[in-house]
A = this chain, B = another copy of it.
Amino acid sequence: MKDRNPVPPPHPARDVTEHVGYRLKRSAAALRGAMDKALREHGLTVPQYACLELLDEQPGLSNAELARGAFVTRQSMNVVLRGLQEAGLVARPSTTDHGRALPAHLTEEGRDRLDAARNAVYAIERQMIDAIPPRRLTALLADLDRMTEALGG
């Protein structure tokens, strides 16, 4: 019978639910759930919304760039992009004169749909912000960034 190998926890915690990773995942899951629900009324999924938002800010992004911006693989974003094109929200040329990357951009309808959905998403963002002391918002963002960078994200 082998002995168990008790690993000292990274910080004082009585159980896994007190670990940073667990809390982070829980918050992300709550956010995802709230966004799923809110965006469903606008006929959009979370990756679709993320794609529209990125394109609104940076028209001409390629599929690979959108994938990195939305934290999914190129292949997943490709599927998302096809759906958005089929829905008439995004347009993309079939060829390009330089390189392989095909620059995507929003259509008029895409912008309208994004504007409508943004209200719902911003309401969620506000819920999160209002839940924490205003003084700590910048610190929170900075800490999230530091963790992300430490993980090579």
Q: Which residues in A have some Cβ–Cβ distance to B below 8 Å? A: 2, 4-5, 7-11, 15-16, 18-21, 23-35, 53-54, 57, 71, 111-112, 115-116, 118-119, 121-122, 124-133, 136-137, 139-141, 143-153
Contacts and interface: CB of A to CB of B under 8 A. Distances in A.
Given A118-B7, A132-B143, A24 B20 contact: no
A31 B144 CA distance: 11
B4 A115 contact: yes
B125 A19 contact: yes
A10 B150 contact: no
A46 to B, nearest CB: 9
A28 to B, nearest CB: 4
Contacts of A34: 151-153
Contacts of A18: 141
B139 A139 contact: yes
16 contacts: A5-B115, A7-B119, A10-B126, A18-B141, A24-B31, A25-B31, A26-B71, A27-B144, A31-B147, A34-B152, A34-B153, A127-B151, A131-B143, A131-B147, A131-B149, A133-B143
Contact of A153 (B8, B30, B112): B30
B128 A150 contact: yes
